A and B are shown apart, each in its own frame.
Chain A
């Protein structure tokens, strides 16, 4: 029983990371019909920059805030420099390659400058775990689902209630038409990528104290976030969140009752099967292809 509690707790915490990453992919995909494959590195930058800023004497919270802002600016720069110029045609794939190349540069330069060793990101909430019988969890890890709820709600409000958010939805729905009614779709896309950058870096900062900051911490997380978004149907924020949490918990139960070593093989196979069963994604709507 305590094992089940443990898997649920850690599953929700890691699932929150997948969900936040998935949300970021959703935000980017909606606006641009393209994503930033360096997104795992944005996640990494959130944590690594916090450590670097703390090294020069800045406190945890301001350092985290600065790191998130810097990562968001980086994400926006990537959109402007490496996605937009390579996403002009309907089925363009150039953005996939440029962002992968930039990701390579980000990760390798971080390794060269920051070192390949993981570093501790000290947080008072990751010192003493809260114990529930034989299970336990760091308060820092509980912060993740909490942050996820806040972020999701804020995102919904933003999309529904603010002018900018509505403009973003308009661009997502029909870029050309949005342009016709005077929305600067390019600017909206830039902002969407920056927003995604905030989400990714925030996830990195929040999980950093538990898993340490290192230059390679983002690679797999980024991919899993992308897969989660796709499985969910990438067109529905709440769906992405649910899929992310489910995947996190599922991973833990696979580790607990099937195999730890083959976790990814089983998890990815599950995702593939789901995708084959639900070609529109778990929460996607059926699209009519217009002729």
Chain B
């Protein structure tokens, strides 16, 4: 938002400063980094579960890599700090990872603002960053066009909105589509993206409604949408508020079609029971469908390492993010092998040369230099539609909702 206003002169000045800062930081970076992945996740608070799920995926992946001799002959370890969901703490943690722990790479958490707050410190320290959740478009596509250090193995809101609008349009006979989003950076950030996507698809949004984290009743919003004749809702929210929204729909006896971004997980289905049936969710991966041997092995390893958390595939509560994180760790390992040493700049450069077949996609190449759009490794082609069926989030093909109505 801010970048668009005064990009020209200020952007250039900013770039100059960043470049100077980077130059000043060269002595620090020339030092060999440690074989560690530093992470700043939410370990406490309402989204603590996301941190936990990321930890399960990353630690298991590292175990597998280390069991095979590590990377460049050394075991790769994970250092985790809690950011309590707050940007200032995320930057503290980023500095700690980059300077004191001197890790070779940083692993991102869930929240988009935390990633945005890290833009400049990462560039200043020359510390590569890989995100597995935070999907905000601006995390990777910096307004100044000069992202050099931040990469993502996850979804990107600009692509997700387009994907969801297409799905909604394909399935909704009347085209009366509304957008419902949570009042967070993730939700608000998607609003301009969805407006653009709707324009491109020739759809006029019939309603835009928002609610706050912790809200327990969305009757007012649902009544407005129902009265506007909406029949398809594109949803941008996480489990708890979505469950409360479903309750509000149920209360007023309104049951529109819902296509959702990936905030909905099995916890949502547990909370609302049969109301979840048929709700569609975009994602990058699904563990409840048929699994490839590699995916099966990954799941078995996680189950073995965290037996009291992971018993069945339904316990993979962040299915897409866990698969993303699994792939991201492997991409880091591959890139380190190409770099040939624990050096951050060389690691960053090596990212552009990684070709790797992961759970989510075939990354060929994973990332492309000088193209901000392709500093996202997962392309829209890899997005998969899933749906809740009998309380489980299944690949859409495995549910009765696969057929399109038109």
Q: Say if the two chains contact directly (CB < 8 Å).
A: yes
> Which candidate, B23-31, B171-179, B266-274, B291-299, is the interface stretch facing chain A?
B266-274
> How far is it, in angstroms, between the C-alpha of A120 and the C-alpha of B271 when the chains are bound?
5
The reply to whether the CB of A108 lies closer than 8 angstroms to some CB of chain B is yes
Contacts of A7 in B (CB 8 A): 219-220
- Shortest CB-to-CB span from A290 to chain B, Å, is 43
Q: Is the CB of A137 within 8 A of B251?
A: yes
Select one of B45, B215, B216, B226 contacting A116, CB under 8 A: B45
Contacts of B212 in A (CB 8 A): 261, 263-264
Q: Is the CB of A216 within 8 A of B214?
A: yes
For window 278-296 of B, CB contacts with A under 8 Å fall at none
Per-residue 0/1 for B19-57: is the Cβ within 8 Å of any A Cβ (1 yes, 0 no)?
Answer: 000000000000000000000000011111100000000
Contacts of B220 in A (CB 8 A): 3, 7, 252, 255-256, 260
Given contacts A116-B46, A118-B267, A120-B271, contact A220 B211 (CB under 8 A): no
Q: Is the CB of B251 within 8 A of A138?
A: yes
The reply to whether the CB of B374 lies closer than 8 angstroms to some CB of chain A is no
> How far is it, in angstroms, between the C-alpha of A120 and the C-alpha of B272 when the chains are bound?
7
> How far is it, in angstroms, between the C-alpha of A260 and the C-alpha of B223 when the chains are bound?
12
Q: Is the CB of B270 within 8 A of A111?
A: no
Given contacts A117-B49, A129-B251, contact A256 B240 (CB under 8 A): no
> How far is it, in angstroms, between the C-alpha of A87 and the C-alpha of B244 when the chains are bound?
39
Chain A residue, CB-CB nearest to B222: A6
The reply to whether the CB of B277 lies closer than 8 angstroms to some CB of chain A is no
Given contacts A118-B240, A210-B216, contact A135 B252 (CB under 8 A): yes
Q: Is the CB of B251 within 8 A of A118?
A: no
> How far is it, in angstroms, between the C-alpha of A94 and the C-alpha of B47 when the chains are bound?
31
The reply to whether the CB of A74 lies closer than 8 angstroms to some CB of chain B is no
The reply to whether the CB of A214 lies closer than 8 angstroms to some CB of chain B is yes
> How far is it, in angstroms, between the C-alpha of A252 and the C-alpha of B226 when the chains are bound?
17
- Shortest CB-to-CB span from B185 to chain A, Å, is 14
> How far is it, in angstroms, between the C-alpha of A112 and the C-alpha of B44 when the chains are bound?
8
The reply to whether the CB of B317 lies closer than 8 angstroms to some CB of chain A is yes
The reply to whether the CB of B86 lies closer than 8 angstroms to some CB of chain A is no
Q: Is the CB of B44 within 8 A of A111?
A: yes
> How far is it, in angstroms, between the C-alpha of A220 and the C-alpha of B216 when the chains are bound?
11
Chain B residue, CB-CB nearest to A219: B214
> How far is it, in angstroms, between the C-alpha of A114 and the C-alpha of B221 when the chains are bound?
31
Q: Is the CB of A6 within 8 A of B271?
A: no
Per-residue 0/1 for B343-373: is the Cβ within 8 Å of any A Cβ (1 yes, 0 no)?
Answer: 0000000000000000000000000000000
> How far is it, in angstroms, between the C-alpha of A3 and the C-alpha of B222 when the chains are bound?
10
- Shortest CB-to-CB span from B85 to chain A, Å, is 11
Select one of B223, B227, B251, B271 contacting A119, CB under 8 A: B271
Interface size class of A (residues with CB under 8 A): 35 or more
Per-residue 0/1 for B202-217: is the Cβ within 8 Å of any A Cβ (1 yes, 0 no)?
Answer: 0000000111101111
Chain A residue, CB-CB nearest to B211: A260
Q: Is the CB of B216 within 8 A of A134?
A: no
Per-residue 0/1 for B221-241: is the Cβ within 8 Å of any A Cβ (1 yes, 0 no)?
Answer: 101001100000000000110
> How far is it, in angstroms, between the C-alpha of A282 and the C-alpha of B48 when the chains are bound?
40
Select one of A6, A108, A118, A212 contacting B252, CB under 8 A: A6
The reply to whether the CB of A136 lies closer than 8 angstroms to some CB of chain B is yes
Given contacts A120-B271, A255-B220, contact A261 B45 (CB under 8 A): no
Q: Is the CB of A120 within 8 A of B48?
A: no
The reply to whether the CB of A10 lies closer than 8 angstroms to some CB of chain B is yes
The reply to whether the CB of A62 lies closer than 8 angstroms to some CB of chain B is no
The reply to whether the CB of A211 lies closer than 8 angstroms to some CB of chain B is yes
Contacts of A135 in B (CB 8 A): 251-252
Contacts of A220 in B (CB 8 A): 214
Contacts of A119 in B (CB 8 A): 270-271
The reply to whether the CB of B75 lies closer than 8 angstroms to some CB of chain A is no
Q: Is the CB of A117 within 8 A of B214?
A: no
> How far is it, in angstroms, between the C-alpha of A14 and the C-alpha of B247 when the chains are bound?
14
Q: Is the CB of A120 within 8 A of B270?
A: yes
Contacts of A115 in B (CB 8 A): 48-49
Contacts of A256 in B (CB 8 A): 220, 223
> How far is it, in angstroms, between the C-alpha of A112 and the C-alpha of B82 when the chains are bound?
13
The reply to whether the CB of B250 lies closer than 8 angstroms to some CB of chain A is yes
Interface centre among B209, B214, B219, B247 (most CB of A within 10 A): B219
Q: Lowest 5 A-B CB distances belong to which pairs?
A: A255-B220, A116-B48, A117-B267, A211-B216, A136-B251
Given contacts A10-B251, A211-B216, A260-B215, 8 further A-B contacts (CB under 8 A): A118-B271, A211-B217, A212-B244, A219-B214, A255-B220, A256-B223, A260-B210, A261-B183
Listed by A's residue number, 12 A-B pairs whose Cβ atoms lie within 8 Å are A3-B220, A3-B223, A115-B48, A118-B239, A120-B270, A129-B253, A136-B252, A211-B244, A215-B46, A216-B46, A252-B220, A260-B218
Interface residues of A (CB under 8 A from B): 2-3, 6-7, 10, 14, 108, 111-112, 115-120, 129, 131, 134-138, 207, 210-212, 214-217, 219-220, 252, 255-256, 260-261, 263-264
